[in-house]
Amino acid sequence: MANAARRFSPTFVATVTPESVDTRTGKNGPYAVLKGAQVSTANGEPMTRTVMAFGRSHDLVEGKLHAGQPVDLAVRYDGGTLRVVGLPAENDDEPQAAPAQKADPMLSACLASAGFDEHRDYGVA
């Protein structure tokens, strides 16, 4: 059996210029595939990558994806592909976080006693 553990991949903002936008439908609904997209980040060199958007992320960005038009997206690496996680926060270089949910105090105490930070993304889906 292959090791199914996922590595943590931070979310970052990138300017994505799609070469083409292909909308497909999978078993969980529509998704977008941007093959050969030009991607540039604030602190890196431009690169060419496949960018994909699924589920709620797809719903957020589908109207903004047009071939040849750059768009700022919150993304994270998924192997050699970039996966869209949403839109960047306005006037900020940090991606927009999901709305906070009030944590159960008992669960918070249990996680803390086990050495886990309840606010950290451990990369487990």
CA-CA distance, 19 to 38, in Å (whole number)?
7
Q: How many CA atoms lie within 13 A of 75 on its CB side?
A: 27
Q: What is the CATH number of domain 11-86?
A: 2.40.50.140
Contact of 82 with 51, CB cutoff 8 Å? yes
- Domain positions in the chain are 11-86
Summarised one tens digit per residue, pLDDT across range 61-108 is: 999 999 999 999 999 999 889 999 999 986 444 444 444 445 567 777
Write the CA distances from 117 to 44, 103, 108, 121, integer angstroms.
29, 12, 9, 9
Summarised one tens digit per residue, pLDDT across range 16-26 is: 999 999 999 98
